Homo-oligomer: A and B are copies of this chain.
Amino acid sequence: LATKVSDAVIRRLPRYFRQLCALDGEGVAKISSLELSRRMGITASQIRQDLSCFGGFGQQGYGYSVSFLRGRIEQILGIDRKYGVVIIGAGNIGQALAQYAQFSARGYEIAALFDVDEALVGNTFGGVEVLHIDSLESFLQHHPADIAVLAAPEGEALELAERLARAGIRAIWNFAPVDIVLEGVAVENAQLTDGLMALTYRLGELRRGGK
């Protein structure tokens, strides 16, 4: 229970959460690991093994209560709370994320966008104002944020990440095509181009008839 949970497990948690939300929406009250395994294309063993990292959420002979399990996974993921978010870089990606309804709906409250470009400063995207990057530190002092979205160009990303860490940010969602490693900071890479490259690789594999 107290032992370190592997990354592989953590990455399946959001998928479990999505499935349980869908089931909840369908009015399904209980589900067995076997049924869930069929829906998700994961073995029932793995589901039970994964969940047992966090405790016993089921009932032998019955299965899992959908709404109860959904609630527990919500807690485990930490998405039952609200998070203050700042977005660094008000280009295409920054703007799109600021306007992405899914986030504000889910308790991510975007406090501000930041950019170096004076032409962008003062503009508003999805109701969020663009501030100058120079005001980052003073802003964070007055409005502490939990998460920083790093949507700056490659060249500036590393330095900005270090600035964010110094300003007290402990979670960075990184969209820049640069690997960021910072002591005591959780970094989640959302490198779009990397995913796209993996896709073209597998497309090539399909075309060559491998697999």
* Contacts from A to B (Cβ < 8 Å): 4, 10-11, 13-15, 17-18, 40-41, 76-79, 83, 92-93, 95-97, 99-100, 102-103, 106, 108, 146-147, 170-171, 173, 177-179, 181, 184-186, 188-207, 210-211
B191-A14 in contact (CB<8A): yes
A96-B92 in contact (CB<8A): yes
Residues in B with CB closer than 8 Å to A206 are: 170-171, 184-186
What are 24 inter-chain pairs, A to B, with CB distance below 8 A? A11-B194, A13-B198, A13-B201, A14-B191, A15-B179, A18-B177, A40-B179, A77-B198, A77-B200, A77-B201, A78-B201, A79-B200, A92-B96, A93-B96, A93-B100, A103-B193, A146-B203, A171-B203, A171-B206, A184-B206, A186-B205, A188-B195, A190-B190, A190-B192
Nearest-neighbour CB distance to chain B for A105, whole angstroms, equals: 10
Nearest-neighbour CB distance to chain B for A208, whole angstroms, equals: 10
Closest to A171 in B: B203
Residues in B with CB closer than 8 Å to A78 are: 200-201, 203-204
A210-B4 in contact (CB<8A): yes
Closest to A39 in B: B179
Q: 9 nearest interchain CB pairs? A: A96-B96, A186-B202, A188-B199, A14-B194, A78-B204, A78-B200, A171-B203, A14-B197, A92-B96
**Apart from A10-B202, A188-B202, what are 6 other A-B pairs with CB-CB below 8 Å?**
A93-B96, A93-B100, A97-B192, A102-B177, A184-B206, A188-B198
